[in-house]
Amino acid sequence: MALRFQNKTAVVTGAASGIGRATAKRLSDEGAQVVLADLNFDRAKQALSQMSDRCWAFQLDVSQEENWQELCRQLKQRGGLDILVNCAGIGITGDFEDMALQDWQAMMDVNLTAVFLGCKHAIKLMKCNESDSSIINISSVGGLVGGEDIAAYCASKGGVTLLSKSLALYCAGKGYSIRCNSVHPSYVDTEMLDPIASTLGGRETMLEAMASLVPMGRVAKPEDVAASIAYLASSDAAFVNGHQMLVDGAQLAGIPARHSA
């Protein structure tokens, strides 16, 4: 595998599991020093066993600004930051009229406010870099279209989509060599689906139902999304900025033939 990220430092939030863990592994395999940032510090440290010895773990509550400030203080001492992947996220489903304010606020805190905080403090570090830096924010297909039973989730991810575009313009306008893009996965086979599986007759039944909604006929693997993130983080994407990258197996491309009259 090419070492596109040799001598680069990356922070991946939500790195203890799912897309975050797969992304940390991909960046590490390509030469990066990766900080596995997660609220679950024990699982983050366990994930380090799959990474190079350049990597380290940091306990991060993404919704708390002082946590980001401490992480960036340590990064500055260790040489700076080149890549930020805001991957931590949560999802709560249900009837919109019955949604508790605390559930709405939790999704906004983790899915949107945390991305604001991460980008804010990363840019302060990255703007001093001599070489290109990259921010990748994980949104969702739900950040581009609505969902009947995931209205709050879609609202938070829609915010990520437009925040990313705005920051691409902001950094370009300031003359910073920092690109900002968003990634929009469809269904991904990760631990985040476990609560849904329990209500749909088991994991295999759930995955089969989800795959039937994807034109390519399968659910994404975390590695599928990690590969797209790695591209956006690399110099191969040097002129890709303010982009919303779909990783959805053509789910949002249009209406499949079987749905036509």
* Sign of the alpha-carbon torsion through 82, 85, 88, 92: positive
Q: Which residues pair with 220 in a beta bridge?
A: 188
> CA-CA distance, 99 to 96, in Å (whole number)?
5
Residue linked to tokens 């799959």: 50
Of residues 41, 35, 42, 43, the one with CA closest to residue 13: 35
Other C-beta atoms lying within 10 Å of the C-beta of residue 64: 15
H/E stretch holding 180 reads: strand 178-185
Active site residue 187: no
Phi, psi of 12 (to 5 degrees): -120, 120
> CA-CA distance, 241 to 237, in Å (whole number)?
8
Q: Which residues are catalytic?
A: 153
